[in-house]
Amino acid sequence: MRAAVLYGAGDVRVENVPDARLIEPTDALVAVSRACICGSDLWPYKLMQPGEPPRRMGHEAIGVVEAVGSGVRTLKVGDVVVMPFAYSDGTCAFCHEGLHTSCVHGGFFGTVELPGAQAEALRIPLADGTLFALPVGADDALMASLLTLSDVMGTGHHAARAAKVGRGRTAAVIGDGAVGLCAVIAARRLGAERIIMMGHHPDRIALAKEFGATDVVKERGEEAVARVRALAGGLGVQSVLECVGTEEAMRTAIGIARAGGAIGRVGVPHYEAIPGSEPAFYNNLTIAGGPAPVRAYIQELLPDVLEGKIEPGRVFDRVIGLDDVPDGYRAMNEREAIKVMVKP
């Protein structure tokens, strides 16, 4: 079968690899109907060091179950399933608490340990706990939005929850990538009265406004902080959704947060220590967030997707075949595309 393999910075190739197959009795084999390229895939794409082992990429997919192991109880061949970016048993203490990304038997797709979803098929460990069977056919018109439940929509929702977004509150979203745009959807869905999008790409800003952003701040750094604070009556915003993962983004988040406010961070951090310890302390800020337990959120978000109340699939602005995955990485890295969908 064909799959995308990352060999080094800027070097992703589509190759013939051994067919995915069942290994454990609790595995399922899924034929990928739709996958995508994630903003977080761009970190290794940019920064992979010589000597690091090759990596089969991709952690977001919708597919059709092709085979199940003898220990799989809830899934059957032919089921259309969404695959969260992390696998989980669904039974441990953390899974019961809705924190599937901390599952004691879990892990992540698209790593050196477990091949990813930018492929024709993949093996799903702990299939009963991991996969979510969808009440749709494999070619449903809502497929793009359903695909976002494997990561970006759930991640945006997690940012909003961690930032304590609620009815009547002010929110700011840092980052105009697919997660930031989904964070706008999530903030609106949870009742934020004012949603300030911080970004500067015209196409992304336009989409953010359609998703519910009430204000846009294009400045960066100190200027951006001043502008957001001014928009929020001089006191700052109650909820900050940090969807980038850089030190500068966290510094901005702490700078724009209102005293007593909360920051929900979902951008994979690429810095050692959280900056702004002093202002965060004196302003009584809550800093929360991490990898989103998207498996736990599918149940909550799915009805809104099926009813068309939210349309997170609009973040996909390019659809490619598997052989074009290298160009898909390039396009996202150069910010030519917001998010690329892959149809193997």
Q: Does 165 bind Zn ion (CB under 5 A)?
A: no
Comparing CB distances to Zn ion, the nearer of 27 and 89 is 89
Comparing CB distances to Zn ion, the nearer of 92 and 133 is 92
What is the Cα–Cα distance from 310 to 308, expressed in whole angstroms? Answer: 5
User: Could you identify the residue written with the tokens 């700078």?
Assistant: 255
What is the Cα–Cα distance from 39 to 339, expressed in whole angstroms? Answer: 8
* Structure token digits, residue 190: 């949870």
Comparing CB distances to Zn ion, the nearer of 90 and 276 is 90
What is the Cα–Cα distance from 102 to 179, expressed in whole angstroms? Answer: 21
What is the Cα–Cα distance from 317 to 233, expressed in whole angstroms? Answer: 35
Comparing CB distances to Zn ion, the nearer of 105 and 209 is 105
Q: Does 92 bind Zn ion (CB under 5 A)?
A: yes
Q: What's the min distance (Å) between Cβ of 125 and Zn ion?
A: 12
Q: What's the min distance (Å) between Cβ of 24 and Zn ion?
A: 15
Among 89, 151, 176, 242, binds Zn ion (CB under 5 A): 89
Among 103, 179, 187, 305, binds Zn ion (CB under 5 A): 103
Q: Does 325 bind Zn ion (CB under 5 A)?
A: no
The angle at the Cα of 25, spanning 23 to 26, to the nearest 5 degrees, equals 100
DSSP code of residue 77: T
3-state secondary structure 208-268: HHHHCCCEEECCCHHHHHHHHHHHCCCCCEEEEEECCCCHHHHHHHHHHEEEEEEEEECCC
Q: What's the min distance (Å) between Cβ of 47 and Zn ion?
A: 30
Comparing CB distances to Zn ion, the nearer of 89 and 242 is 89
Q: What's the min distance (Å) between Cβ of 130 and Zn ion?
A: 10
Q: What's the min distance (Å) between Cβ of 293 and Zn ion?
A: 10
Quick one: which segment of 56-64, 87-95, 303-311, 330-338 binds Zn ion (CB under 5 A)? 87-95
Among 12, 62, 80, 95, binds Zn ion (CB under 5 A): 95
Range 107-123 burial, b when 16+ CB lie within 10 A, else e: eebbeeebbbbbbbbbb
Comparing CB distances to Zn ion, the nearer of 105 and 218 is 105
Instruction: List, in order, residues 6 or more apart from 69 with CB less than 8 Å away.
Output: 22, 24, 25, 26, 27, 28, 127
What is the Cα–Cα distance from 91 to 272, expressed in whole angstroms? Answer: 33
Among 33, 88, 101, 170, binds Zn ion (CB under 5 A): 88
Nearest to 80 by CA among 38, 143, 20: 143
Comparing CB distances to Zn ion, the nearer of 103 and 184 is 103
Q: What's the min distance (Å) between Cβ of 128 and Zn ion?
A: 11
Q: What's the min distance (Å) between Cβ of 340 and Zn ion?
A: 31
Quick one: which segment of 100-108, 112-120, 145-153, 178-186 binds Zn ion (CB under 5 A)? 100-108
Contacting positions for Zn ion (CB under 5 A): 88-89, 92, 95, 103
